[in-house]
Structure 1
Amino acid sequence: MKFAIALFSPPHSPSSRRALRFSEALLSGGHDIIRIFFYQDGVYNASANIVMSQDECDLTNEWREFIKQHRLDGVVCIAAALRRGILDEQEVQRHNRPTSTPNLSEGWSLSGLGQFHEAAQQADRLICFGGH
């Protein structure tokens, strides 16, 4: 079965951990993940600037490694990311932020809600974590 995953919660939220563990279980069970889309505060999971306490699980790193290891399509909503100060090299230049450095972690791509819609159309199931 093909799944699309959407995460709306930041890395310190239990929803983020549940989404990651669920995604791991999907792949272990032989299912496919079309795309993992990070929206609203979920975009913080793709920030290279999040530092977790030593006694906490580093979910930003775990997400990055999971996406890299399984060659998944990790997409970060560009509008939500920009509102929260998460930029890649292209956005730093486009928005003339000379003192900023790109802080979108490696392995992620910025894109619009069209990517979310496309994944939902291609998948057999859309599973959402977090949100209000």
Structure 2
Amino acid sequence: MSLHYVLVVTEPAYGSQMARTAYQFAAAAIEAGYTVSKVFFYQDGVLNGTATTVPANDEFDIVTAWQTLAQDHGVQLETCVAAALRRGIVSDQEAAQHALPHSTLAAGFSQAGLGALAEALLTADRVMQF
């Protein structure tokens, strides 16, 4: 039986090891044959989904890593819309709604409410929070 995981990331892309640990867990779980259907970024974790992060050349690019994981394995990357807005991360839709000049949400990420997380929690075999 293959386990179905949902991950909740509450730590920022940089300044903490937890986002990278979450990514490494997701990659290892997929490699082991498990399913990671969704990564929900909440609180400061939404900073993993900003298009304006530019890491130093010698640092791990966590945003690109999440994007590649999503593209290669069909993992949904969702940022909590309320937490993202408070931190200046807006989708095209939110930018238009609030008359902002452009989106700051990274490609491959979407914004969702806590209801989307609750629904995912009901269908997952395991939930891991980082």
Shorter chain as denominator, the TM-score bin is: over 0.9
Q: Distance in 1 between matches of 2:67 and 2:42?
A: 16
- 1:83 is aligned, of 79, 86, 98, to 86
Instruction: Determine if contact 1:11/1:60 at 8 Å carries over to the other structure.
Output: yes
Instruction: Determine if contact 2:37/2:74 at 8 Å carries over to the other structure.
Output: no
SS at match of 2:96: helix
Instruction: Determine if contact 1:5/1:126 at 8 Å carries over to the other structure.
Output: yes
TM-score, scaled relative to structure 2: 0.94
Amino acid at match of 2:25: F
Runs of 4+ in 1 over 4 A off after TM superposition: none
Per the TM alignment, residue 89 of structure 1 is displaced from its structure 2 partner at its CA by 0.9
TM-score, scaled relative to structure 1: 0.93
Unaligned runs of 5+ in 1: none
Unaligned runs of 5+ in 2: none
Q: Which residue is 2:46 aligned to?
A: 43
Greater RCO between the two (CA within 8 Å, min separation 6)?
1
Aligned residues with identical type, % of pairs: 36
- Alignment root-mean-square deviation, CA: 0.9
